[in-house]
Each structure stands twice: as C-alpha cells, then as structure tokens.
Amino acid sequence: MKHYKKMVYPYVAWISVMVVAPMLLIMFYAFTKDGNAVLDFVFTLENFKKFFSDTIFISVLGRSLKIAVITTVICLAVGYPAGYFISKCADGVKMKWILLITFPTWINMMVRTYAWRGILQDDGIINKFFGLFGLGPVPMLNTGFAVVLGMVYNFLPFMIIQIYTSLAKLDTSLLEAAADLGANKTKSFLRITLPLSIPGVLSGITLVFLPAVSSFYIPEMLGGGRYYMIGNLIETQFLTTENWNFGSAVSLIMVIIIIVSMYFTGKADKTEIMEQRGN
Amino acid sequence: MKKRFMITALVMALIASCFSGCGGAKEKLKLYIWGEYLGEDVISNFEKEYNCRVIVEYFDSNEMMYTKLAGGSAYDVLVPSDYMIERLINEKMLQPIDKSAIPNISLLADGVKNMGYDPDNTYSVPYFWGTCGIVYNKNNVDYSDLENEGFGIMKNPKYKGKLYMYNSSRDSFMIALKQLGYSCNTENENEINEAYKWLIELDEATEPVYVTDLVIDSMAQGEKDLAIMYSGDAAYVLGENENMSYYTPACGTNIWCDAMVIPTNAENPTLANKFINYMLTKEACMDNTLTVGYTSPNAEVLAEVTAEGGDYAENEAYLPRTYALDEIYHDNETIRRLTNDLWTKIVANE
C-alpha cells in the first residue's frame, strides 16, 4: 500500500507550481507597492486600506454578494424541486433527465453566455416576439436581470445534480417506516427527506455561490460593464489599469471571503450530520 | 526517485534542444506584433524572398510587450505604439534603424513621417496609424449634435442607453480632456479632476456600456447608435454596416501611430532592417491594409484605396480628417497611475 503514495508526487509537483506558487506571488504583490517589478519592492498595507476606505469598492463587494445570494436562492428554489422530481423517476428516465441537464455544459460556458446577448438584445428574439404585440423593446441586456439570468443559467445544473445525488442515495425504507408509523407525506418529507438532503443542498450552495460571487465574464458580457462585480474589479486591475498590487489585494480579500463562507457551510454540514446521528 | 527525475529532465531537455536546433539552417527573424495586425501573405512572401524563417509572437497591449521585453526576451522587430516607442527610446532599449537598408522609407505618406515620439524617424518606421473618434448611426444621430457638442454628445441625455464607451482610462480621459479644452497630456491635477467629474456626469447622464473589443461586432450589427472607437476598427464597422459613419470633433483627438522598431538585444538586426524595408513596399502595405482595415502609412496605397472605386473610397474612418488640436499621446507614469485609479472608480460607479 505504501508505495502507492509515490503516485501522488506528480500531483504535489503540479499543485505547487500551478497553485501554491501563484498564490504566494499574489500575496507578495498584495503587500507591496510600486509596479510589477519584483526587484525594488516596498512593503505596505496601502492596497488594503485603499479598498476598505472607499465606498465605491465596498459597494462593488456588496453588489457581488447581493447578486451571488440572489442567484443561489433562485437556483435552490428551482433546483430542489427539480432534483426531487428526478430522484422519484424510474431509473431509465432518471438518466435521461440528468443527461438533459448536463447537456448544455458540454458547450463552452463563454459561448453559451455570449449567445444570451443575441437573445436579450433590443432586436433579439424576445423583443421581436414582444414587438408582434406592439410592445417594447424592453431593455434586458446590460441590466442586473441579465446578469442574474446568465448566472442561474450557468450554475443551475450544479445545484440540481448535487441535490439529486443526495436524494437518490436516500434509503426508501425510512420513508416506508415513517408511513407505517402513521406519518403523512408532508411530515415524512419534512422529518426525513429534507434533513437527509441537506448535505447535497449545502454543497450545491457552495458550488453555485462561489463561482457566482467571483464571476467576471457573465457581468461583463450581460451586464455591459454596468454591473461591475468584484471579479471585474480584479480583472481591470490586471488587464487595463496595470495596478497588480491592488488587484492582488482584492484577490486576497476575495479568497478570505470564500474561505470564511466555506468554513460556515462546512460547519453547518457537520452540525446537520451530528443532529441526525443524535436523533 | 530523485535520480529518475533528473534523467527525465535531461531527456526532455535533449528533445527540446533537438527541436529548436533542427530548423537552424535558415536565418531567423523574431517578430513581436499586435494580434490580427498582419496581411494574409506578407510573412510567407518575405520568407520566400529572403530565404528565412519568421517567428511571429503576438501581444495585446503595449504594456504586455514591454514586460516581456524588459524580462529579457529577444526580438528582432517590434511593432508597439507611439508613447511606448518614446519610452523605449528614453530607456535606451532601441537601436537606430539603418536608413541605407530601408530605401522604401521614401514611400511613406507625409503625415506619418517625423512624428513627435521619434522626430527624425531615427528609431522607428510607421506601420499603421489613425485617430480615436466617434462611430455613429447616420439614421439615429443628428449630425448637428455632433458638430455642436463634439465628444459632449456622449453625455447628451437624448442618446441615453444608446452608446458604448471604450473601457480604457487613457482614451476616456483623452476625450474628456479634449472636450474641456485641455491637452490630453496634461500634468495638471485640477484638469484631471475636472475630466473625472465630466466622465462621472457622463456615466450618470447616459448610462453607457463600457466595452473593449466587443464594440466592433456590436456596432457592425448596429446594436447602439454611438461609440468611441479607433479609426481602424471604425473602418471595419463602416465597411460592414452602411448606416454607420465616423466623426472626429474639432476640439481635437488623439492621433496614434504604431511603428516598427529594432530593440538593442536583436539577434539579427540586418534581417530586421530588410524586413522593415519589405513591410513598406506597396505589395506588403496593400495586403496589410486590406486584411486588417487600419490606415496604411504608404502614400501610394493610401491614394489607391481611397480613390474612386477603391476598397475604402467612401469610408470616412479609413482616412480620418485631422485637426490642428490633435495630439500624440505621451506616457507619464504618475499621471497614468492617477487616471487609472480614477477610471476604476468611474466604471465601478452605479
């Protein structure tokens, strides 16, 4: 068994070069100032001060969290019933549903998001349809609506699959026992199905919330630069304004937010399991 | 374990050196240029004529090019923009071109010779040039508004929600400063703050969409009525959509020029000079301008494509009209940092 451990070395090498080293560089840049030169650097906390002392940056952070929360709530509201429904289907039908849901992810995310531009724009198909009744054009592209729509569209499959997986593993004999003991459908759902699906819900939330809060491509494509999120702020610092130090500081703040939210979902997950065991 | 790793590394190195060595028979030229900036056949024709091999690498910003060059990468020919050439000259990173090897320099149009960033063309030979201006839909925008308001049309509430701004601090501050009657190279912080206010007002008055390359296709499809664009990109849009036209206000704008230069660490300066000379020929310039759509520096090509029946005969953007107040951009690091920070706040503003 022991020599199998060696097989992990390539991965360790990979992760050191591709993940750890860049992270260290980002930390280095975040705490230094004056350009991108690595040779003559000055340590500073200015980049962090700059972020927290300006209401504009705080409002960008607030906007990102808001949009990510809205996206997550919608995904959960749509995804839970969908996952529940699929888990109740016959085996063959299940696979077809799962295939249908994962089908769009076979196409590159950027292409799919770009396609929404054509659907939502002022002379796109939706507005052409409205036009038949003499309505519109309703501006949809470059609004918050378009950004949330793009995110729900892109991240919903993650939520459904997670919830479906946890519900599919559910031991049906528990439900039979509940029915035997006189619980009606609502009660057995609330007391058995729901609590047992919580781990799936939590990992679904993580898988939707994290990419949503740090997304930059969707707000740029569908928000037209008017729905500026934290990911866009980071992107701008690196690509257009060349302030790598500030960009790195914002990235680091982002990493901390993500770690904190993962800690809490992880904790909720554990308490949930503990409670179930306690019962 | 370690030994095995060393052996693998050694074998890999040997294979790599073999690959790079195999093509060594011909002379090599390393070219570092903007993406989508070359005619279809110019490189292969040059390779045939001079029996050499051209290795082309692409950059998408002057700053990216600078970082790579400063990091020690060796190229024979670079094609950066005016202000970057000025910086490279100041930092002694360029070598003078050999004018005796470049007789075709006489083919250049008058307007692109001896521009401010390199007054005697000691170090650089123009490749493409143009201005920054307004692309507008002739059917939906009143020409009188353009004439009366200049760049100020971008904050006219009449066109709210119908315009694109270019997501670049340099170009946006340029239009604000020019509109306010200042130099786009101002070092006066009050003037810059005034321009910042102007841009914030614009953001609130017309709610523009901030885009970069997306603007090209979007305007070609006529999604909006007004956009700030480079003349070369505008020429493409005008070619695709006949409703579009191009306007440069009389308050002046930025004239830019991308030019060929030879860095001091070039490995093959002789071939580099030959390449520059070749790129000025009518054949190469014609191929470049017809493929890319940017304005040629070659006088004869310019005359031919804008003459009646030429490819850009009725294209207002291809040969943009210029004004006395037009300026070349000069890079100033302090000012650049300041405007970059302000620009971040403008786009993040809701």
Does the beta carbon of B210 lie under 8 angstroms from any beta carbon of chain A? yes
Q: How confident is the model at residue B6 (pLDDT cuts 50, 70, 90)?
A: very low
Q: Residue B177 falls within a domain, yes or no?
A: yes
Q: Best mutation site among A38, A143, A236 for testing chain B: the one with the most B CBs within 10 Å?
A: A236
Q: In terms of domains, do B140 and B74 share one?
A: no
Encoded amino acid at B314, one letter:
E
Structure tokens belonging to residue A30: 């975040």
Q: How confident is the model at residue A250 (pLDDT cuts 50, 70, 90)?
A: very high
**Rounded mean pLDDT of A139-154?**
92
Q: Is the pLDDT of residue A225 over 50?
A: yes
> Which of A63, A142, A225 shows the shortest C-beta gap to B167?
A225
| Contact criterion met (CB below 8 Å) for A104 and A157 | yes
Give A-chain residues touching B350 at CB under 8 angstroms.
59, 63, 226, 228
Q: In terms of domains, do B89 and B59 share one?
A: yes
SS3 A147: helix
Which is more confident, B13 or B79?
B79
Give the torsion through C-alpha atoms of A235, A203, A94, A194, to 10 deg.
-140
Q: How confident is the model at residue B1 (pLDDT cuts 50, 70, 90)?
A: very low
Q: Residue B333 falls within a domain, yes or no?
A: yes
CA distance A214 to chain B (A): 15
**Rounded mean pLDDT of A53-70?**
92
Q: Residue B13 falls within a domain, yes or no?
A: no
- Strands B124-137 and B226-230, by their bridges, are antiparallel
Does the beta carbon of B223 lie under 8 angstroms from any beta carbon of chain A? yes
Does the bond joining B103 to the residue before it have cis omega, within 30 degrees of 0? no
Average pLDDT of every residue of chain B = 90
Do A63 and B350 count as a contact with CB atoms less than 8 A apart?
Answer: yes
**Rounded mean pLDDT of A240-264?**
88
Q: In terms of domains, do B188 and B159 share one?
A: yes
| Contact criterion met (CB below 8 Å) for A167 and A83 | yes
Q: In terms of domains, do B96 and B46 share one?
A: yes
Do A225 and B347 count as a contact with CB atoms less than 8 A apart?
Answer: yes
pLDDT number for residue A275: 61
How much of chain A, in percent, has pLDDT values that exceed 70?
94
Q: In terms of domains, do B191 and B271 share one?
A: no
Q: In terms of domains, do B342 and B245 share one?
A: yes
pLDDT number for residue B18: 47
For chains A and B, count residue pairs whose Cβ atoms are closer than 8 Å.
Answer: 57
Which is more confident, A38 or B92?
B92
**Rounded mean pLDDT of B287-311?**
92
What part of A 136-165 touches B (C-beta under 8 Å)?
Answer: 139, 142
Question: How many degrees, rounded to 5, is the angle at CA A156 between CA A159 and CA A255?
Answer: 75
**Rounded mean pLDDT of A7-19?**
91
DSSP annotation of A87 reads H
Q: Residue B219 falls within a domain, yes or no?
A: yes
Give the torsion through C-alpha atoms of A198, A203, A204, A206, to 10 deg.
130
Q: Residue B18 falls within a domain, yes or no?
A: no
Q: In terms of domains, do B322 and B219 share one?
A: yes
Encoded amino acid at B71, one letter:
G
**Rounded mean pLDDT of A65-89?**
95
pLDDT number for residue B12: 52
CA distance A225 to chain B (A): 5
**Rounded mean pLDDT of B139-161?**
95
Helices and strands: H and E segment counts in chain A:
14, 2
Q: How confident is the model at residue A2 (pLDDT cuts 50, 70, 90)?
A: low
Encoded amino acid at B138, one letter:
K
- Strands B77-78 and B27-34, by their bridges, are parallel
Q: Is the pLDDT of residue B230 over 70?
A: yes
Q: How far apart are CA B251 and CA B180, in angstroms?
A: 9
Q: In terms of domains, do B102 and B244 share one?
A: no
DSSP annotation of A191 reads I
pLDDT number for residue B347: 87
Q: How far apart are CA B252 and CA B118, in angstroms?
A: 21
Strand residues in chain A grouped as ranges (E): 32-33, 42-43
pLDDT number for residue B64: 80
Encoded amino acid at B313, one letter:
A
Q: Residue B1 falls within a domain, yes or no?
A: no
CATH of the domain at B94: 3.40.190.10
**Rounded mean pLDDT of A44-60?**
91
Burial B273-288 (b: 16+ CB within 10 A, else e): bbbbbbbbbeebbbbb
Q: How far apart are CA B86 and CA B83, in angstroms?
A: 5
Do B348 and A9 count as a contact with CB atoms less than 8 A apart?
Answer: no
Give the torsion through C-alpha atoms of B107, B111, B116, B122, to 10 deg.
10
Does the beta carbon of A39 lie under 8 angstroms from any beta carbon of chain B? no
Whether the CA torsion A65, A66, A71, A77 is positive or negative: it is positive
- The domains located in chain A, with CATH, are 61-278 (1.10.3720.10)
CA distance A92 to chain B (A): 44
**Rounded mean pLDDT of A44-62?**
91
Which residues have C-beta within 8 Å of that of residue B68, sequence separation ≥ 6?
B32, B59
Structure tokens belonging to residue B187: 């070092």
SS3 A119: helix
Q: Is the pLDDT of residue A36 over 80?
A: no
Give A-chain residues touching B209 at CB under 8 angstroms.
142, 224-226
Q: In terms of domains, do B246 and B337 share one?
A: yes
What is the pTM (predicted TM-score) of this model? 0.82
Q: How far apart are CA B274 and CA B322, in angstroms?
A: 32
Q: How far apart are CA B150 and CA B196, in angstroms?
A: 18
Which is more confident, A278 or A74?
A74
Q: Is the pLDDT of residue B2 over 70?
A: no
Tens-digit pLDDT profile for residues A175-224: 899 989 988 989 989 988 999 999 999 999 999 999 999 999 999 889 88
Domain count, chain B: 2
Do A241 and B161 count as a contact with CB atoms less than 8 A apart?
Answer: no
ipTM of the complex: 0.77
| Contact criterion met (CB below 8 Å) for B248 and B322 | yes
Average pLDDT of every residue of chain A = 88
Q: In terms of domains, do B40 and B163 share one?
A: no
Q: How confident is the model at residue B21 (pLDDT cuts 50, 70, 90)?
A: very low
pLDDT number for residue A4: 81
Q: In terms of domains, do B123 and B112 share one?
A: yes
Do A226 and B210 count as a contact with CB atoms less than 8 A apart?
Answer: yes
Q: Is the pLDDT of residue A270 over 90?
A: no
Strand residues in B106-247 grouped as ranges (E): 124-137, 163-166, 209-211, 226-230, 244-247
**Rounded mean pLDDT of B12-17?**
50
Q: Residue B15 falls within a domain, yes or no?
A: no
Q: Which of A122, A226, A228 is nearest to B203 (CA)?
A: A226
Q: Which residue of B has its CA nearest to A6?
A: B1
Query: What percent of the residues of chain A are helix, what percent strand, and what percent coil, each to the nearest 5?
Result: 80, 0, 20
Does the beta carbon of B344 lie under 8 angstroms from any beta carbon of chain A? yes
**Rounded mean pLDDT of B103-118?**
91
Q: Residue B54 falls within a domain, yes or no?
A: yes
Structure tokens belonging to residue A64: 């990102």
Q: Is the pLDDT of residue A118 over 90?
A: no
Q: In terms of domains, do B291 and B338 share one?
A: no
Containing structural domain, residue B39: 27-129+257-306
